[in-house]
Chain A
């Protein structure tokens, strides 16, 4: 792959500076109190993986950070700016810092690949189409795709679409990339291709990344720190090594995939019925 063309200069002055700070954030949907006081800090230029069971609010947290959802209580700071009460006209400036890769790609299916990747550029700049197409082709090369620019999303495989989705997210050269379960639904080889790409994004483009995942191998591979979300709160944060050797019983049950344990206490997955049938 070619040399990455990142933003001019570093987006982080130092790697100890927090890029995203989440303080006591709460979010409910009716009676369902999903986020119950989330606290998390993501340093500039690092990759933070947020792990947790299905339906525990990981996607909700991501959407609160980028403003797709408004949190009920608490504070979220992005690059020093608190976003809870941002007026609409200031949102666009904030959004230009973000790129997001959705779980199911969310490519626009009625336009070509290069139009997808260059979508933001077409809407926000006055660049002519030829230039935008050239930039799109360059970003596609960065994610390992060539000669797909004139095809339609429906013609590509899942792994290719995921990479196009990443190319679209980086087309406007954001300083923060959010990934919503990037390796879910991909075969093991493709999952590792995506993992490698995420690491490369961090190295070459110096972006801060937050990755929602329950793929532990992916998390160990790509993350500087891993945070576990459980019952609406972050219960532990650490490096991959620290998480692997965690003594927290909930973290241990989750990362080892144990069916029985404190997380699933009382839940009936039908094992008893299965065993009686085998007899």
Chain B
């Protein structure tokens, strides 16, 4: 009977332990962001990797999300003669919610896993130890550029997703569903506040920090060769995706 308490206790302790370590990595990263020297070259390299190479994925995600939103909300709203508001729904949903969250999930899968794999491989081949012996702090050299790149790039990617999503919704509404283009655009502007866009971009920043922190954490703490790298990569994606969704709720509630 006590075995059950044992197991629950073990998992609670493990959860607290891991959360604590992740938090420590986060705080150390923030500390090193402000400590010179500033390695602009590395940051830009990561911005290119995290950002520019994620653009196609995010554009496709945004476009199809906007399009399906238009279809679904039309179907629903038609039932009470509110089809004219499809534009509003697409705009608000994309900017407040789907733009940041879906971009976050895509980037988590693409970038979070890459960070975990790259740092994990470095860890099991002793490259991180080698950095330390050359008196280079691995957090400053490896984590800070990735963290800053994610922080800068996520809101930009989200903005792209928002634009493309609204455009996708427009195309579906006007071309497929025969809505009046002027009314669609009017409705989009009338009911969209700048605040909606800002909330989405703020969420994107938080998600960027989560993805980089979890990805780097899993990488640096990889143990056990190729299998360990595989596990770490999977964990990075799953954990950062879940955290994105959880954080999304709390941020939304905060601004409610």
Contacts of A172 in B (CB 8 A): 134
Contacts of A102 in B (CB 8 A): 126, 129-130
In the complex, which residue of chain A has the Cβ closest to the Cβ of B129?
A68
Secondary structure of the B contact surface, majority rule: helix
B:48-91 near A, CB below 8 Å: none
Contact assessment for B127 and A106 in the assembled complex, using a CB-CB cutoff below 8 Å: yes
Choose one: B126, B133, B136; the contact of A103 (CB below 8 Å): B126
Contact assessment for B130 and A108 in the assembled complex, using a CB-CB cutoff below 8 Å: yes
Contacts of A107 in B (CB 8 A): 127, 130
Distance in angstroms between the alpha carbons of A104 and B127 in the assembled complex: 9
B15 at the A/B interface (Cβ < 8 Å)? no
Distance in angstroms between the alpha carbons of A102 and B125 in the assembled complex: 9
B135 at the A/B interface (Cβ < 8 Å)? yes
B:8-34 near A, CB below 8 Å: none
Contact assessment for B136 and A120 in the assembled complex, using a CB-CB cutoff below 8 Å: yes
Contact assessment for B134 and A123 in the assembled complex, using a CB-CB cutoff below 8 Å: yes
Contact assessment for B126 and A96 in the assembled complex, using a CB-CB cutoff below 8 Å: no
Contact assessment for A95 and B135 in the assembled complex, using a CB-CB cutoff below 8 Å: yes
For chain B, the count of residues having a C-beta within 8 Å of the partner chain is 12
A:46-98 near B, CB below 8 Å: 63, 66-68, 91-92, 95-96, 98
Nearest CB on B from A88, distance (A): 9
Distance in angstroms between the alpha carbons of A96 and B122 in the assembled complex: 22
Distance in angstroms between the alpha carbons of A104 and B126 in the assembled complex: 8
A254 at the A/B interface (Cβ < 8 Å)? no
Contact assessment for B125 and A104 in the assembled complex, using a CB-CB cutoff below 8 Å: yes
Distance in angstroms between the alpha carbons of A168 and B127 in the assembled complex: 13
Choose one: B129, B135, B136; the contact of A106 (CB below 8 Å): B129
- Return the CB mask of B112-152 against A: 1 if under 8 Å, else 0: 00000000001001110110111110000100000000000
In the complex, which residue of chain A has the Cβ closest to the Cβ of B134?
A120
Nearest CB on B from A108, distance (A): 6
Distance in angstroms between the alpha carbons of A174 and B135 in the assembled complex: 12
For chain A, the count of residues having a C-beta within 8 Å of the partner chain is 24
Contacts of A96 in B (CB 8 A): 135
In the complex, which residue of chain A has the Cβ closest to the Cβ of B122?
A108
In the complex, which residue of chain B has the Cβ closest to the Cβ of A121?
B134
Contacts of B134 in A (CB 8 A): 95, 119-120, 123, 168, 172
Nearest CB on B from A21, distance (A): 20
Distance in angstroms between the alpha carbons of A120 and B130 in the assembled complex: 10
Given contacts A102-B126, A103-B126, A108-B127, contact A68 B135 (CB under 8 A): no
Nearest CB on B from A87, distance (A): 14
Contacts of B133 in A (CB 8 A): 66, 68, 95, 98-100
A124 at the A/B interface (Cβ < 8 Å)? yes
- Return the CB mask of A112-141 against B: 1 if under 8 Å, else 0: 000000011001100000000000000000
Contacts of A92 in B (CB 8 A): 135
In the complex, which residue of chain B has the Cβ closest to the Cβ of A63?
B129
In the complex, which residue of chain B has the Cβ closest to the Cβ of A100?
B133
Contact assessment for B135 and A120 in the assembled complex, using a CB-CB cutoff below 8 Å: yes
Choose one: A67, A106, A123, A124; the contact of B130 (CB below 8 Å): A106
- Return the CB mask of A167-196 against B: 1 if under 8 Å, else 0: 010001000000000000000000000000
Distance in angstroms between the alpha carbons of A109 and B127 in the assembled complex: 9
Contacts of A106 in B (CB 8 A): 125-127, 129-130
Distance in angstroms between the alpha carbons of A119 and B122 in the assembled complex: 16
- Return the CB mask of B192-216 against A: 1 if under 8 Å, else 0: 0000000000000000000000000
Contacts of B122 in A (CB 8 A): 108
Nearest CB on A from B242, distance (A): 29
Distance in angstroms between the alpha carbons of A124 and B125 in the assembled complex: 23
Nearest CB on A from B52, distance (A): 18
Nearest CB on A from B31, distance (A): 11
Query: Which residues from chain B sit less than 8 Å from chain A, CB to CB?
Result: 122, 125-127, 129-130, 132-136, 141
Query: Which residues from chain A sit less than 8 Å from chain B, CB to CB?
Result: 63, 66-68, 91-92, 95-96, 98-100, 102-104, 106-109, 119-120, 123-124, 168, 172
Q: With contacts A68-B132, A108-B127 known, what are 7 further pairs, Cβ within 8 A?
A: A66-B133, A96-B135, A99-B133, A106-B129, A107-B127, A107-B130, A168-B134
Listed by A's residue number, 15 A-B pairs whose Cβ atoms lie within 8 Å are A63-B129, A95-B135, A96-B135, A98-B133, A100-B130, A106-B127, A106-B130, A108-B122, A108-B127, A108-B130, A119-B134, A120-B136, A123-B134, A123-B135, A124-B135
Counting from the closest, the 3 A-B pairs by CB-CB distance are A106-B130, A95-B135, A106-B126
